[in-house]
Copies of this chain bind each other. A is one copy, B any other.
């Protein structure tokens, strides 16, 4: 286990050999703003309590007699309104301008009724401690900023209302996903990220290699340095895996392997597509949920998917089910002119999904983002050599986790649903 500690950017090392018992108390969940304001009548049950809030200054309003500091600790959308007057310990930090948007503070005080209309309680500060001052260039001030701008500040965007909320929704959906499958007896399988298996092929893949020098040296690396065979081909025998290796596009085959031994399993891990799609609907790196059920057919499969979506609470009503073949038929029958012409075997595009959900089944709002398609599996995964040993009917589905987050949050751009989005030309932070 590797421990680290940074005190406002600097490394601290203590140099003592000591047993746990001597130094460390019990690990306790810390009191958060969500615990305080999430209580009875927005925190009124805590009136009179003396407590400590740790968080970041969102805004500061200096008035003649008192100063209001809005503090957020990321546990919920709501800030804790903290009030300080000139008598309180640490008030000089307000006067000196140390307390500004973005500063990290600890406030110790008593819960009192708030005169304001926006909240029922506030914290009357006894003691204020600035733990870390705000950088003067802190770019997120109290004004509306675009999500495009925030994407360029990925390391700061979780401090905004929207991205803080997205992070919490994403977390809740991820945990509910694990809970659903665990409670139903599924075993989580970590499907591999790197694969040298040449039988996938659903989409463009990223190559994973050590033939190109690592890290900083790469940028100045001569193309000639790639090792070659006598025939001028890339010499894969010198690569890390001694053959071409790629980032996985799906864990389905791996899940199948385990389903045919453990009955019901699921993967929940990153998958990759190197498609040059610079759209609001595509990510080069995204998380997939892929359950696999042995001794199961399509009905069991769809029942599982429906139960899952109801459990994670993104749908309440029933689904319309449509096979890929029927969807294609429906689109052909429509006689509509699509930008991408429809024929059996083509990938369905947003315009096609829109027609199906908005026109063909306009009374059924729930299928929206969850267009169901029968996997044309025989074509995309030619892995009969491994499958032959399975010998059991099995079924499953694949769900892009970011699509689910998008569905739950209503965000336009899928890049806003994942902490550090990867897209063509973009792999920062």
Contacts and interface: CB of A to CB of B under 8 A. Distances in A.
A78 interface: no
A295 B154 CA distance: 21
Given A223-B227, A374-B3, A378-B11, A299 B23 contact: yes
Contacts of A11: 375-378
Nearest to A274: B210
Contacts of A121: none
Nearest to A418: B190
Contacts of A234: 212, 218, 221-223
A38 B168 CA distance: 37
A27 B186 CA distance: 13
A325 B103 CA distance: 33
Contacts of A276: 240
Interface in A118-176: 131-135, 138, 154-156, 158-159, 164, 167-168, 170-171, 174-175
Closest 6 CB pairs of A and B: A132-B391, A74-B262, A4-B375, A27-B307, A158-B261, A104-B392
Nearest to A324: B13
Interface in A1-58: 1-21, 23-27, 29-30, 32, 54-56
A285 B30 contact: no
B426 A241 contact: yes
Nearest to A233: B222
Contacts of A214: 204-207, 246, 274
Interface stretch (A61-69, A89-97, A250-258): A250-258
Contact of A164 (B29, B131, B204, B261): B261
A237 to B, nearest CB: 9
Interface string A402-423: 0000000000000000111010
B25 A303 contact: yes
A174 B197 contact: no
Contacts of A134: 391
Contacts of A102: 389, 391
A281 interface: no
A247 B203 CA distance: 20
A184 interface: yes
A214 B196 CA distance: 11
Interface string A196-230: 11101100111111111011101111111011100
Interface string A292-331: 0011111111111111100000000011111111100000
A285 B194 contact: yes
A346 to B, nearest CB: 15
A246 B391 contact: no
B376 A24 contact: no
Contact of A1 (B245, B246, B264, B399): B399
Given A2-B375, A3-B298, A241-B425, 20 more contacts: A1-B397, A4-B396, A5-B296, A5-B297, A6-B256, A6-B395, A16-B326, A27-B184, A27-B306, A54-B295, A55-B263, A75-B263, A131-B295, A135-B388, A167-B261, A168-B187, A192-B427, A192-B429, A206-B240, A207-B212
Contacts of A303: 20, 24-27
B254 A420 contact: yes
Given A263-B73, A386-B429, A223 B226 contact: yes
A306 B375 contact: no
Which of A9, A227, A242 gathers the greatest number of chain B CB atoms within 10 Å? Answer: A9
